[in-house]
Amino acid sequence: MSGAEAARPMSGVRVLDCATFIAGPTAATLLGEFGAEVIKVELPKTGCPLRKFGTPTEAGMTLPWLSESRNKKSLTLDLRTEEGAAILKDLVAQSHVLVENFQPGTLEGWGLGWDVLQAINPALVMVRISAYGQTGPYRGRPGFGRIANAFGGISYLAGYPDRPPVTPGSATLPDYLSGIYGAVGALMALRVAESTGQGQYVDIGLYESVFRILDELTPAYAYRGYVRERMGPGTVNVVPHSHYPTRDGKWIAIACTNDKIFQRLADLMEEPELGGDGRWGTIEKREAERATVDAHVAAWTQKYDRDQLMEMCDRGQVPCGPLLSIAEIFEDPQYAARGNIARVAHDLLGEVAVPEVMPRLSATPGGIDSLGPELGAHTEEILGGLLNLDPERIAALRERGVI
């Protein structure tokens, strides 16, 4: 997918990405995929830490950098210097969104706080992502995704009840979630700015994005004092709804979210009497014997290979899915049909495979025009073209280490 930039919904919007690592940059990347001009502001010489985070490549940049910094221009600028701060202010005057994820108070210490930037551009939208948000007793604490998973409540739920908590999928899950919420917040704030001329800032704590997706955890505790514990692959309130082993040493996910679906599974297992008015016909009955139900289903799934089970469950309209490794994902026909894996050309690496743009818009799709840029690759273009600085001034800034 590569829709022309002019047709993309965010075309004409300029974003200053002053953030590092994953959370803030993800918000900027999402806007850039749909046409926004994203200027990545990086520290001279070293650049964003994401450049060195993850699997290294012969291009001198890591795979996360190439994938997650797609569609961005790189400007080197030391915001800690007076001249660097002044240049950022000039850019703010001509931009719509600024994204940052420093510890609260950092930009203020450099004379680049919200009040200062809004005075320069009243319509500015500022996305601020930090470990705990801009307020509260923990606002000054540092943090990364792993800390957000822990503090947000999801790590407590990950794993088996008789074993230590594990990482819930990925330590970077909160970063990507917060980036998505940041992009959504920017879009809503931009809509207000377009109609009123008044900008605002979007304040996100990494842990809040995790806390927001914990389904009924909050009301269940407030309503009944219920504290959910680790359940392994199981799911509260529904059963069978877990991962089950197959004869060929693989795993399949089965989700019986109501009594009607369980009846279909019982029919597939050739035990229709277990549903309806039978032993496990209602969720209350199945919940009371959760371990026995799961063991019974597991005994059935182990009689068949995974592909056989997939065919049987599809035929019986029982929701199921294979637990795929990344190698299997690359071979899966659904991923291929949807074009979920984009292959983007790179001058040094040839073809690089990265996740395709999400979400999928039917009329004005986003696209990947380029992978993460070389450090400072667009500095002259931005300073000379956008701010009209002459070559001598740019050379002097470079000599002083400002860029």
Q: What is the CATH number of the domain that holds 247?
A: 3.30.1540.10
Let me know whether 40 and 185 are in one domain: yes
Whether 195 and 308 map to the same domain: the answer is: no
Are both 202 and 68 inside the same structural domain? Answer: yes
Q: Give me the number of domains the chain comprises.
A: 2
Write out the two tokens for 248. Answer: 């060929």
- In whole numbers, what is the pLDDT of the chain averaged over residues? 96
Do both 207 and 131 map to the same domain? yes
- 384 SS3 class: helix
Q: Are residues 34 and 136 in the same domain?
A: yes
> What amino acid occupies position 291?
A
In a shared domain, residues 21 and 153: yes
pLDDT tens-digit profile of 299-353?
999 999 999 999 999 999 999 999 999 999 999 999 999 999 999 999 999 999 9
Domain extent, residue 203, equals 5-212+360-399
pLDDT beyond 90 at 6: no
Instruction: Dump pLDDT digits (tens) for 257-295.
Output: 999 999 999 999 999 999 999 999 999 999 999 999 999
> Does residue 192 sit in the same domain as residue 94?
yes
Instruction: Tell me the per-residue pLDDT of 133-183, one tens digit each, with 9 for 90 and over.
Output: 999 999 999 999 999 999 999 999 999 999 999 999 999 999 999 999 999
The Cα 403–Cα 399 span in angstroms is 8
If asked whether residues 54 and 168 sit together in one domain, one would say yes
- pLDDT over threshold 60, residue 33: yes
Assess whether 197 and 126 both reside in one domain. Answer: yes
Q: Both 208 and 273 in a single domain?
A: no
The answer as to whether 232 is a domain residue is no
Residue 228 lies inside a defined structural domain of this protein: no
Catalytic residue among 78, 175, 203, 294: 175
Task: Give the model's confidence band at 7: pLDDT under 50 very low, under 70 low, under 90 confident, else very high.
Answer: confident
178/280 same-domain check: no
Catalytic: 277? no
User: Are residues 258 and 264 in contact, defined by beta-carbon separation less than 8 angstroms?
Assistant: no
pLDDT digits (tens, 9 = 90+) for 353-401: 999 999 999 999 999 999 999 999 999 999 999 999 999 999 999 999 9
Asked, for residue 63, whether it belongs to a domain, the answer is yes
Residue 83 sits in the same domain as residue 142: yes
Burial of 316 (0-12, 13-18, 19+ CB in 10 A): middle
